[in-house]
A and B are shown apart, each in its own frame.
Chain A
Amino acid sequence: MADRPDPLTFNPTRFAMRIEQTQLVRHVIGWLFFGGWLALVVFDDKLGTWPVNLVFLAGLGWVVAMFHSARSARLVQQAASLVASNAPGDVAESALRAAGDRFTVHRAVRVLYYHHLAILRHRQRRFAESAAIAAALLAHPDIRLSATQRHHLLLMLTESLLQFNDLNGAHACLMQLHAEPLPLSERVQRLGMQLIYESRCGLDRHALSSLDGKLDMLDLMAPTAAAVCHQHLGWSAQRTGHADLAAWLHERARLLAPDLNAAAPVAVTAPFDRAVRPLEDPTPALDLDED
């Protein structure tokens, strides 16, 4: 017997197939129901009992599919909660594996599953996989993402591309992020990404412009992410001949994250400011109406 593929191993073909599968099942059931009902209305009793059977069959199929999907949705929600609450990697992985194997007619459930798989991979520093999932979700023509999901995926994709030094790709993502109104937390993350991008491109004067305002925004970040941005600003200051400013920025970076390793990848998209939202449920609500 051939081994079943691990649902946590991202495969673009399988991803597209699974997204289309939800649509296909919904369409088949819908057309069966509509066809039977139309036959009943148009032909009345002339076609015997098969239109009634068709409507009954479609209704039964719908109930079974919904029942199965409800359980899948619950499992995906549980897995998403584990991922969002920073549960240990293996616990979150096994929950996602259990949820990913199941069938669902709701595309929103599938999208939530892949979104949280991308978050998990990003947190595990498996940037290639997280970028692939984020790009696939963003590019799929039939997927309607919520604004929050879209922003989050774009931020993760930008960060992954910066890790691979794909500056053109990162630029395209930043352009998209600039084209949309973002909430404060995402504006802060975008600023962090843009500073890294500008520093890598050598756009040092741009990076250092309006520095006070940028430092105020960086103060809202998680300490390690803020320290990374300070380091990049410090390098920009060094290159533009502001040695004192560079020393100040590097010292601030060291105070924010004493054990920061400049070579190690750091997620700028880390959650921040826990003090004011200790009771927030980190799991995004599952909106099945989106289907």
Chain B
Amino acid sequence: MTLTPPPFQPPSAEQVRVHLRACEPRPSININTVMMFVSLGALLIIWETVEPGWVSLSVTWMVIAGYLAWRAYATSQARSIQAGVVNVYELTLLRRSREALLGAWDLLPRLYRQPAEHAQVVSIMTNCLMRLRAYDPAVETCEYLLAHVPPQHPAGYLIRLQRLLGHLHLDRLADADDEIRSLRNASLGPYEAAVLTTAHLYQQIKTNHHDDAADLADEAIDRLHPLGIEAGYGYGLIATAFHFRGDADAAGRWWRRATMLIPGHAIAYDLPETVAMLGAPEGVHPPFARPSCPPPPRPPRRCDHG
């Protein structure tokens, strides 16, 4: 009989809360410094108590070798943790959210002595949970981060924006409305302002204010382009607004723009309100976007033009 593993389930908000509380960074003594003083103390005791000779010499060298071995072990541990953080970060970038979340979950207990890495891994977890549509636990991680980030930290706005998107997905529209009003008065950078515009568009679609959402179309490209390809979500929302307003031409135009950046099914998966647009023509790669060329040169061929 073969056992099949149970299907992947993102953690619940309660599980996330318990895990974050259990893995919270706590002040601890610097073990490296302690080990150095212990070694020095041991050397002083040996020199004071043992008669000079081969015994004291060998014990001295053994203490020094022990200290060096400890340093090598501590360095390898630190490197392995750093490699773990880089690994989950790269998995997140590649949108392999399940693996990234599992990696981050397992890594978190090892980071109780590194608050910066700990916060980074929690923010990676937020991102993965949002992508996996586990919005309740994602909001939980945002609350945790906001409680631990210093008030003036530049990342604070970004975490609040992620929480805002979570609230919108969870239909907590009153909370979302309060957050949008509060963030409108904040001095946001272009990236954060673009996320806020997307959230505002999403709120208008959610609350059936399609006309208001469509009115934002004139300045949408200027406002949303700092998001890079993720601006496609905003364009998809504008297309949906035009669709519900009955302007099929404009809806098709905006949907084409949106799907030039992100495939239509991905937009509809992340924003189910845009599912009505799925039948419209998409701005996907032309069929000859995959030319049958030889593999890329590695290393590149030498060029003598310069």
Interface residues of A (CB under 8 A from B): 85, 165-171, 174-175, 178-179, 183-185, 194, 197-198, 200-203, 205-206, 208-212, 215, 219-223, 226, 240, 242, 244-245, 248, 251-252, 255-258, 273-281
Contact = CB atoms under 8 A, between A and B. Distances in A.
Nearest to A204: B293
Interface string B145-173: 10001000111001100100000000000
Given A223-B225, A276-B92, A276-B123, A209 B145 contact: no
A3 to B, nearest CB: 38
B228 A256 contact: yes
Interface in B86-140: 86, 89-90, 92-94, 116, 119-120, 123-124, 127
A280 B305 CA distance: 41
Nearest to A221: B228
A244 B191 CA distance: 31
Contacts of B92: 276
A279 B116 contact: yes
A280 to B, nearest CB: 5
A275 B92 CA distance: 10
Given A185-B93, A219-B229, 5 more contacts: A211-B285, A211-B289, A211-B291, A242-B291, A277-B124
Nearest to A212: B290
A255 B120 contact: no
Given A175-B300, A244-B286, A255-B261, A208 B291 contact: yes
Contacts of A174: 299-300
B84 to A, nearest CB: 13
5 contacts: A194-B296, A206-B294, A274-B158, A278-B155, A278-B158
B297 A167 contact: no
B261 A209 contact: no
B303 A248 contact: no
A197 B303 contact: yes
B291 A209 contact: yes
A290 to B, nearest CB: 12
A226 B228 contact: yes
B294 A256 contact: no
Nearest to A254: B221
Interface string B236-267: 00000000000000000000010011000000
Interface string B33-72: 0000000000000000000000000000000000000000
B237 to A, nearest CB: 15
A244 B288 contact: yes
A278 B163 CA distance: 14
Contact of A178 (B90, B298, B305): B298
Contacts of B221: 255, 258
B300 A197 contact: yes
Contacts of A194: 296, 300
B301 A206 contact: yes
Contacts of B90: 183-184
Contacts of B94: 184
B11 interface: no
Contacts of B7: none
Contacts of B260: 248, 251-252, 255
B303 A168 contact: yes
Contacts of B301: 201, 203, 206
B85 to A, nearest CB: 9
Among A194, A222, A258, A274, the one with the most B-chain Cβ atoms within 10 Å of its Cβ is: A274
B6 interface: no
Contacts of A245: 285-286, 288-289
A142 to B, nearest CB: 23
Contacts of A209: 291, 293-296
Among A85, A242, A256, A276, the one with the most B-chain Cβ atoms within 10 Å of its Cβ is: A276
Among A170, A183, A244, A275, the one with the most B-chain Cβ atoms within 10 Å of its Cβ is: A275
Nearest to B224: A255
B178 interface: no
A256 B229 contact: yes
Contact of B145 (A170, A198, A279): A279
